[in-house]
Structure 1
């Protein structure tokens, strides 16, 4: 029981390691949360710093999700594995090391889903990339994939545990994207390729 609890705690702490924050500090000596959208995530790194650091941040955030799920698998308990997946996303969104001001959890969620259900992740990536390609709104692609996630998990796994897990991931994604949803509805959301280096007001 102790190892199971520790795996969840470690997953949260792992999620709290913000690659976007550290890359921005190393790359330009700035706190990424003070620039662009104010979000400590790969999309904001792309807008503020460019493609290369954004890719590093994206891969780092996804890797956190992968490691957390494998840590949960070591317990031999499927429910703990799913809880570790949620814990790492929560850690990314509300990192203890950065006073609980983190990212939106999409890349980390993708790493989690990729490890738990590769087919689900492939479907979500195709849908997300298609939405981003036709609209150039990264947030819309993320939101759409998040909404579809529970339906895909239910169809592929037919498990109550997996459905609840997917619903919680969807809730976390939509909650963290609530400002993006408002901007999308008002037509003020930034599109992919628009560079923003101004400080957050």
Structure 2
């Protein structure tokens, strides 16, 4: 990392931000419905809100593209900029996630960063990321609440990195600890971006999958 020129850092981080900010969900929903996806549901450009506005196929396309953005910036970090250390790659990944959350193309109003984060950590720690996705699947199957599954997956990721890349693989901490630290840093950023979701989860008014309007009161029986 110390040998990477400052200009290289600037270009790598700027490019990662601009790629991360490419508004996949906004453009797909706009093409399908002619409307701004941020004007309904949770107000996000992410895949879940695109599903609400434009349907399952549009949401799936958005998710794939958002994951791909995270993977692409990590690939470019290595192939174009020679950033081989996971510490450096984590910084590039964070820039992409911030770009997705606060895209310059849309007045800094974007998504929640989860799918792009999945792409980043599929490159940094694939087995731990798959374990985290498994946590999401179980939580979603039980609650049909995407945000809750996402937050639990974020919490599970550092433990997955420790177990898959450290304990199970028998590697020294110097190998996997930087990735774990970045998973905590990026996880805190994603959790902070979900603050409104956390408030709705606490009040029992969070949208479940398929709902299109935010509720002001908890559903009956909850």
Taking structure 2 as the reference length, the TM-score comes to 0.84
Cα distance between partner residues in 2 of 1:90 and 1:151: 23
How many residues align? The count is: 197
Residue range with higher mean Cα deviation, 29-38 or 73-82: 73-82
2:207 matched to 1:190? yes
Q: Which moved more, 1:150-159 or 1:49-58?
A: 150-159
Q: Say whether residues 1:114 and 2:122 are aligned partners.
A: yes
Measured after TM superposition, the shift of residue 99 of structure 1 is 1.1
Which residue pairs with 1:19 in the alignment?
24
Alignment of 1:42-191 (within 5 A): 42-74=47-79, 75-78=82-85, 79-155=87-163, 156-157=165-166, 158=173, 159-191=176-208
Mapped to 2, the partners of 1:145 and 1:121 lie a distance apart of 9
Q: Deviations over 1:80-124 (max 9, x none)?
A: 222111111010001111111110001100111111111011101
Larger Rg: 2
* Structure 1: runs of 5 or more not aligned: none
Task: Report if the CA contact (8 A) 1:48-1:196 is conserved.
Answer: no
Q: Give, in whole Å, the separation in 2 of the partners of 1:136 and 1:95.
A: 28
TM-score by length of 1: 0.93
Q: What is the match of residue 220 of structure 2? A: none
Task: State the Cα distance separating 1:38 from its structure 2 match.
Answer: 0.8
Question: Counterparts of 2:25 and 2:194 in 1: how far apart (Å)?
Answer: 17
8 A Cα contact 2:131 2:157, kept in partner: no
CA RMSD in angstroms, aligned pairs only = 1.5
Checking the alignment, whether the CA contact within 8 Å between 1:131 and 1:140 is kept in structure 2 is: yes
Higher relative contact order (CA 8 A, sep 6+): 1
Query: Which whole-Å CA distance do the structure 1 matches of 2:189 and 2:200 have between them?
Result: 18
